[in-house]
Amino acid sequence: MLQVEKERLGERALIKISGALDLGTADAFKQQLVPLLLGETEVVFNFCGVKFIDSTGMGAVLDFLEELTLLGVTVTGWEIGPTLFEILQLLGMVVPAENGWVLKATDKEIPLALVCRDQ
């Protein structure tokens, strides 16, 4: 089961995603996010609770990042664990940066933070 929650992180919205992000939940992911992001200009995504993600789930995330860019919402960070980090590395989407790592999913680089441990 997929869960999406919103918290405040100063001026930014913190979106916590947990559960499985796959073929069965990709549409729900987008449907749950849209109302949470109305009126927001900056957002940080926390994927620490994502226990499984497949290519459909990753595609949903990347598509949504593109949509956010078009809507003028800036993604200022991704908080992830080692498993998702490895997947992003294998896909060639993570590159070293001056202060750590960045996600190269769109024409922008999004800072990554390894802030959680896989359970």
- Per-residue confidence band for 22, with pLDDT thresholds at 50, 70 and 90: very high
Instruction: Identify whether 80 is part of a domain.
Output: yes
Instruction: Identify whether 35 is part of a domain.
Output: yes
Domain of residue 12, residue span: 3-114
Instruction: Identify whether 8 is part of a domain.
Output: yes
Q: What is the pLDDT of residue 111?
A: 84
Q: Which tens digits make up the pLDDT trace of 50-69?
A: 989 999 999 999 888 888 88
Q: Which tens digits make up the pLDDT trace of 83-99?
A: 888 888 888 888 888 87
Task: Supply the pTM of this predicted model.
Answer: 0.85
**CATH code: domain of residue 53:** 3.30.750.24
Instruction: Identify whether 21 is part of a domain.
Output: yes
Here the tokens at position 102 are: 């960045």
Provide long-range contacts, Cβ within 8 A and 24+ apart, for 104-110: 105/61, 105/62, 105/65, 106/62, 106/65, 106/66, 106/69, 107/69, 108/69, 108/75, 110/65, 110/75, 110/76, 110/77, 110/78
